[in-house]
């Protein structure tokens, strides 16, 4: 029988937590909750096996057995001895203990670990009159104590050795990059997508080959734990050998061929020898080519000329192998070399000295921070284009006006956003009629440019020229990578076109709002997964639902639901006709670590669902579309017609002290309040418009609806 509802915690390098969440959710983890250098989540035994085998970012994986308040050191022994240890390993097995102590009255981690060891030994002595042996290297079971302030937990270490140890490295080469940090660097450099397209990979300072091997793992979809022979769960009594074999076989079947080229070189003969050994251990001798070569001797081989690719470099930096002044020349040398030899390629550089990355004579596309052990590193990403050689036509007078307007708005709204803690906002909304676009910025990293359909009388070439100027100006003014600018065309949708998808990339990113995290998708849909204009409404619901029940209708991706849960809602019910959006809503609440039986999700036509529902609610959020067809095309929804029945149905299940928040985006909408004599209706639209939408106050209309006090 599959073991379910395990309480798990996975460690990871600092600043890679969201990458780990993405992996875990894809593997089936639930209730993911981020903390510094780790993610707590729930899952079954299958998820444990998949995480150990497939996660490229994970470090340790712990199964929590008990959590307790720590008053003094005696509590450690007491709670440790109460655990039924013979359910996890026998007296004939071996065990080991470890401890981590953070800001606690118990200062000595070795002493704390010893208390757990003594408790386990005494548990078996009392029950079996003998003690299991301790094996500090490869025990049957490893037990870990974690103490933070006055909270403590005792867990099984199901990973054994840290999962960053893939099994291909016999020892640590000098100044090596940890494997999971290397994988994070490749994720940040967009290598998973590039490798699927068969693009090439180059590491010109490959050292012991870590980046090359991790790149090959990703390119071939080979699980990073494929060659590991030891996991902490292998000696655990609840280990399911058949399930482990099944998971391993399924994952093995997903390994795929890769059509690109992976090459590395290094000036150090010993490093090349070590990399060849590691590459062989990882099973990539036929895929990865390495050779001893000076940087100045680099020549482009023919196979690199057919397609571009990613150059990933972990060069020496001051805190590691040299002094900053001496290294500046090296950084300038390799960037100029590859700019000349491999134009159009992407370049990702990790360095422990941010000053060194600024020596590279290229515009930075994006930046990230990673920690290689205790060393704080900057990861800078570039496109190998000689900006000096690019000759572009000057902006038109209108283009100059648009640029100046965008500069002004971005400065003003950037200050407001920082002051307000807002990371996703509208920075421009058709302020100039000739530049009829809406521009939204997400996390200072991604931009959507939504082009409103131009009037028919404007010639197509004029529209195109203006849009080209917009797409040219936006990355420069807003300081984002042009690859992260997404164009969307907004027009009146009819019939089945309302279900049109732009792409099928299934690429999701994480954004933040009001203490919550949400998945967004910039490629596959016209909208990204979050309606930015509804931010104040979501904030109000978060602040007013504690201990209350929420019904979220026409829920879209459930952003309101997640914020209600964060605000302490007693229960939430989420309804949408789209299975895709309901699944998205579930992923959002899982991302915030709040998925539970108190939060229910339904794929259903809203009106039909309301007719059948027999519950009552404190808060109902009603945000219908202006117009929609069912997929069959037989049922037509028109908000101006159907709002009457919708509000009547909602009122029937609204508690006497409850409130309906009714919002819609139909600019010509007329609300006939006389049709609802028992309800108190208040237009609250102006209070639901944040500063970034102040130039477009009709972006939505919103009403607060309650029962009359004398009802």
The domain spanning residue 15 has which CATH number? 3.30.2130.30
Q: For position 481, what pLDDT does the model report?
A: 82
Query: Domain with 412 in it: what CATH number?
Result: 3.30.750.80
Query: Is there a contact between 541 and 564 (Cβ–Cβ < 8 Å)?
Result: yes
User: Are 339 and 431 in a shared domain?
Assistant: no
User: Are 188 and 123 in a shared domain?
Assistant: no
* DSSP assigned state of 222: -
Tokens, residue 327: 């290294």
Element (H, E) at 134: strand 133-134
User: Are 402 and 542 in a shared domain?
Assistant: no
User: Are 430 and 297 in a shared domain?
Assistant: no
Distance CA 405, CA 399 (A): 10
Q: For position 495, what pLDDT does the model report?
A: 38
User: Are 472 and 553 in a shared domain?
Assistant: no
Query: Domain with 675 in it: what CATH number?
Result: 3.40.50.150
The reply to whether 237 falls in a domain is no
User: Are 95 and 194 in a shared domain?
Assistant: no
The reply to whether 173 falls in a domain is no
The reply to whether 625 falls in a domain is yes
Q: For position 530, what pLDDT does the model report?
A: 98
The reply to whether 234 falls in a domain is no
* Torsions phi, psi for 501 (to 5 deg): -105, 145
- Angle of CA points 49, 54, 58, to nearest 5°: 90
Burial class (CB in 10 A: 0-12, 13-18, 19+), 284: buried
Q: For position 172, what pLDDT does the model report?
A: 52
User: Are 286 and 432 in a shared domain?
Assistant: no
User: Are 208 and 79 in a shared domain?
Assistant: no
User: Are 373 and 421 in a shared domain?
Assistant: no
Q: For position 632, what pLDDT does the model report?
A: 46
Q: For position 94, what pLDDT does the model report?
A: 97
The reply to whether 165 falls in a domain is no
Whether the model clears a pTM of 0.75, i.e. scores above it, the answer is: no
User: Are 336 and 406 in a shared domain?
Assistant: no
The reply to whether 241 falls in a domain is no
Q: Which domain holds residue 370?
A: 179-228+255-383
The reply to whether 166 falls in a domain is no
Give the residue from 105, 124, 157 where a domain finishes.
157
The reply to whether 568 falls in a domain is yes
Q: For position 5, what pLDDT does the model report?
A: 84
pLDDT in tens, 361-374: 788 888 888 998 88
Q: For position 1, what pLDDT does the model report?
A: 45
Distance CA 223, CA 252 (A): 8
Q: For position 648, what pLDDT does the model report?
A: 97
Strands 617-622, 654-664: parallel, antiparallel or unpaired by DSSP?
parallel
User: Are 579 and 431 in a shared domain?
Assistant: no
Give the residue from 491, 518, 547 where a domain finishes.
491
User: Are 197 and 328 in a shared domain?
Assistant: yes
Name residues whose C-beta falls within 8 Å of residue 363's C-beta, 6 or more positions apart in sequence. 382, 383, 387
pLDDT in tens, 584-623: 999 999 998 888 889 999 999 999 999 999 999 999 999 9
Q: For position 65, what pLDDT does the model report?
A: 97
Give the residue from 462, 491, 520 where a domain finishes.
491
Q: How many domains does the chain fold into? A: 4
Query: Is there a contact between 295 and 204 (Cβ–Cβ < 8 Å)?
Result: yes
- Partners of 7 in beta bridges: 42
Query: Is there a contact between 187 and 249 (Cβ–Cβ < 8 Å)?
Result: no
Please list the ranges in the chain whose pLDDT falls under 50: 1, 173-175, 320-322, 389-391, 492-503, 632-633
């Amino acid at each position: 029988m599959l073991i379910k509802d395990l309480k798990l915690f996975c460690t990871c390098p600092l600043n890679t937590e969201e990458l780990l969440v993405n992996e875990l959710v894809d593997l089936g983890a639930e209730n993911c909750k981020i903390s510094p250098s780790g993610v707590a989540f729930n899952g079954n035994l299958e998820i444990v096996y998949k995480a150990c085998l497939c996660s490229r970012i994970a470090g340790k994986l712990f199964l929590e057995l008990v959590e307790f308040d720590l008053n003094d050191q005696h509590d450690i022994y007491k709670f440790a001895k109460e655990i039924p240890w013979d359910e996890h390993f026998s007296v004939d097995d071996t065990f080991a203990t470890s401890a981590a102590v953070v800001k606690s009255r118990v200062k000595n981690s070795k002493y704390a670990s010893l208390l757990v060891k003594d408790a386990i030994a005494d548990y078996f002595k009392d029950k079996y009159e003998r003690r299991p042996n301790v094996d500090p290297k490869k025990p049957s079971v490893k037990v870990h104590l974690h103490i933070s302030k006055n909270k403590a937990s005792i867990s099984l270490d199901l990973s054994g050795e840290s999962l960053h140890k893939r099994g291909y490295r016999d020892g640590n080469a000098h100044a090596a990059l940890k494997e999971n940090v290397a994988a994070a660097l490749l994720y940040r450099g967009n290598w998973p997508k590039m490798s699927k397209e068969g693009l090439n990979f180059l590491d010109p300072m490959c050292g012991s080959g870590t980046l090359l091997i991790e790149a090959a793992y990703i390119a071939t979809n080979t699980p990073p734990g494929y060659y590991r022979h030891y996991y902490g769960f292998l000696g655990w009594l609840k280990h399911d050998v058949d399930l482990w074999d099944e998971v391993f076989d399924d994952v093995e079947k997903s390994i795929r061929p890769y059509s690109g080229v992976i090459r590395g070189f290094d000036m150090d003969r010993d490093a090349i020898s070590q990399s060849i050994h590691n590459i062989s251990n990882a099973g990539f001798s036929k895929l990865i080519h390495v050779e001893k070569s000076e940087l100045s001797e680099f020549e482009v081989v023919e196979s690199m000329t057919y397609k571009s690719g990613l150059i990933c470099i972990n060069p020496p930096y001051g805190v590691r192998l040299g002094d900053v002044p001496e290294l500046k020349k090296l950084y300038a040398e390799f960037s100029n070399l590859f700019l000349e030899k491999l134009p159009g390629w992407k370049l990702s550089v990790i360095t422990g000295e941010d000053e060194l990355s600024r020596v590279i004579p290229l515009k930075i596309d994006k930046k990230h921070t990673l920690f290689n052990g205790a060393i704080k590193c900057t990861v800078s990403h570039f496109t190998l284009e000689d900006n000096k050689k690019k000759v572009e036509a000057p902006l038109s007078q209108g283009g100059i006006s648009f640029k100046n307007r965008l500069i002004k708005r971005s400065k003003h709204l950037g200050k407001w956003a920082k002051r307000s803690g807002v990371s996703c906002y509208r920075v421009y909304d058709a302020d100039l009629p000739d530049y009829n676009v809406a521009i939204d910025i997400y996390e200072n990293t991604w931009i959507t440019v939504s082009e409103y359909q131009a009037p028919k009388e404007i010639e197509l070439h004029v529209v195109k020229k203006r849009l080209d100027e917009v797409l040219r100006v936006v990355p420069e003014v807003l300081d984002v990578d042009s690859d992260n600018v997404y164009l969307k065309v907004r027009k009146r949708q009819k019939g089945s076109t309302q279900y049109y998808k732009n792409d099928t990339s299934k690429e999701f990113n994480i954004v933040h709002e009001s203490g919550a995290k949400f998945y967004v998708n910039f490629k596959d849909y016209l909208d990204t997964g979050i309606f930015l204009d509804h931010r104040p409404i979501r904030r109000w619901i978060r602040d007013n639902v504690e201990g209350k029940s929420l019904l979220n209708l026409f829920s879209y991706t459930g952003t309101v639901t997640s914020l209600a849960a964060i605000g302490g809602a007693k229960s939430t019910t989420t309804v949408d006709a789209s299975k895709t959006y309901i699944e998205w809503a579930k992923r959002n609440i899982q991302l915030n670590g709040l998925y539970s039986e108190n939060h229910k999700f339904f794929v259903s036509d809203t009106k039909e669902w309301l007719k059948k529902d027999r519950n009552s609610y404190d808060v109902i959020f009603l945000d219908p579309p202006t117009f929609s067809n069912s997929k069959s095309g037989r049922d037509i929804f028109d908000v101006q017609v159907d709002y009457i029945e919708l509000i009547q149905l909602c009122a029937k299940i609204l508690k006497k002290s409850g409130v309906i928040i009714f919002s819609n985006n139909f600019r010509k909408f007329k609300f006939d309040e006389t049709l609802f004599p028992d309800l108190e209706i208040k237009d609250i639209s102006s209070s639901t418009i944040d500063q970034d939408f102040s130039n477009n106050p009709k972006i939505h209309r919103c009403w607060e609806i309650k029962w009359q006090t004398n009802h």
